[in-house]
Amino acid sequence: MPSHALFRYGSAYRHRSGAAVVAVALALGAALAGPSGCAPAIRRTTGDGPAAPQQLAQIWMAPGNIARRDVLHGPGGKSLVPRPGERYKVTEVDTTGASPGYDVVDSRGRKWKVKLGEEVQPEIVASRLLWAIGFHQPPMYYVPAVQLEGGKPEHQGQPARLRAEFGYDKDGDWSWHENPYVGTRQLNGLLVANLLLNNWDIKPTQNRIYEMDDPRQRPRRRYVVQDLGASLGMTAWPTGTKNNIANFELQRLIKNVTADGLEFDYAARHTELLNVITAADVLWTCRLLDQLTDTQWNDMFRAADYDPELRRRFIVKLKSKVQEGLALAARDGAPHR
């Protein structure tokens, strides 16, 4: 499969119903798979009908006044910020991911997932960005020197990402290829946001379905991209880079615009997922991100303890990618749906 693919949004895709978009996705997925079957089929699990508003809320909710969102503290707010000097009792070593990690319990009996290594900072930024524009995310925080009771000695005092493992239960994984939202603006917008972040590790095991403990919380069921650590570097497959500003600055959002379509500057697996992303999907996502204030952009990176110069460079690049998306509005014949 080529490292870059042409993602068409021309006249053949205009004014299609949700069912027709799903049919196109299925056909393209099958075509890309070929005899080797390298690309899974793409299908909406709820059939041909459009998703109901209550169901769409499970993947995205209108964020209201984006400029007022507290991206420094994220979805957990100030109340869940880990206490300075807190010691965390290790209950299990996490051996499933690319980064070292632990399941831990704090002094109040709350469960957290600790991640160490190069994914700590970019995951916090990526999570804040998705949450800011309406996508569901769990509470997570940066701890500059985590104190562990148990675990490997070399992990003591390292910078860590703590993700809350309380307030909800997990009801398995969800697949980008088979879910209730295939063909929707919300799912396509979520993919666009991941493209902006250069998240190259898109796979079902990074996605979770959450069931909130409190029945008063709406929506109670939520589709979440839980692991976002392979971001803010360069996309590649089988291994891109993470948290690498020099690499991140080398890639655009859109490599080329022709009369027939968009070529995204993306070099990783599952490019078939991007074939039905339209210019209108990109515009929708970038218009949401364009509502963030300079203070909020800065706070996203402050939340992960980036130094000021590194913050500045990442923010400049992210904003330039947002502007690439916004520029599609001026293109003659850009489709809308």
pLDDT at 279 over 50: yes
Residue 320 carries which side chain, given as an amino acid letter? S
pLDDT at 12 over 80: no
Residue 245 carries which side chain, given as an amino acid letter? I
Conformational region of residue 275, where left means phi above 0, alpha means psi within -120 to 50, and beta covers everything else: alpha
Token pair in block for residue 252 = 């655009």
pLDDT in tens, 197-253: 999 999 999 999 999 999 999 999 999 999 999 999 999 999 999 999 999 999 999
Q: For residue 136, give every residue at least 6 positions away whose Cβ sits within 8 Å of its Cβ, in sequence order, or none.
A: 58, 59, 60, 61, 75, 210, 222, 223, 224
Domain ranges for the chain = 6-69+171-330, 74-167
Single out the residue of 224, 234, 184 nearest to residue 204, CA to CA.
Answer: 224
* Per-residue model confidence (pLDDT) at position 46: 86
* Per-residue model confidence (pLDDT) at position 38: 61
Query: What's the average model confidence in pLDDT over 11-38?
Result: 39
Single out the residue of 158, 72, 74 nearest to residue 115, CA to CA.
Answer: 158
pLDDT at 35 over 80: no
Please name every residue paired with 94 in a beta bridge, in sequence order, or none if there are none. 101
Token pair in block for residue 8 = 């068409």
Alpha-carbon dihedral 261, 283, 225, 172, rounded to 10 degrees: -70
| Beta pairing class for 178-179 and 43-44 | parallel
**Domain 74-167 indexed as CATH 3.30.70:** no
* Per-residue model confidence (pLDDT) at position 26: 40
* Per-residue model confidence (pLDDT) at position 36: 35
Tokens 């869940």 correspond to 80
Q: Please, what is the average pLDDT of the chain?
A: 88
**pLDDT grade, residue 142 (50/70/90)?**
very high
- Cα separation, 116 vs 101, whole angstroms: 6
- Cα separation, 165 vs 185, whole angstroms: 29
pLDDT in tens, 144-194: 999 999 999 999 999 999 999 999 999 999 999 999 999 999 999 999 999
Query: What's the average model confidence in pLDDT over 18-33?
Result: 41
Q: Is the pTM of this model over 0.85?
A: yes
Q: Which of 14-18, 211-215, 231-235, 304-308 has the lowest mean pLDDT?
A: 14-18
- Cα separation, 319 vs 138, whole angstroms: 25
pLDDT in tens, 62-121: 999 999 999 999 999 999 999 999 999 999 999 887 899 999 999 999 999 999 999 999
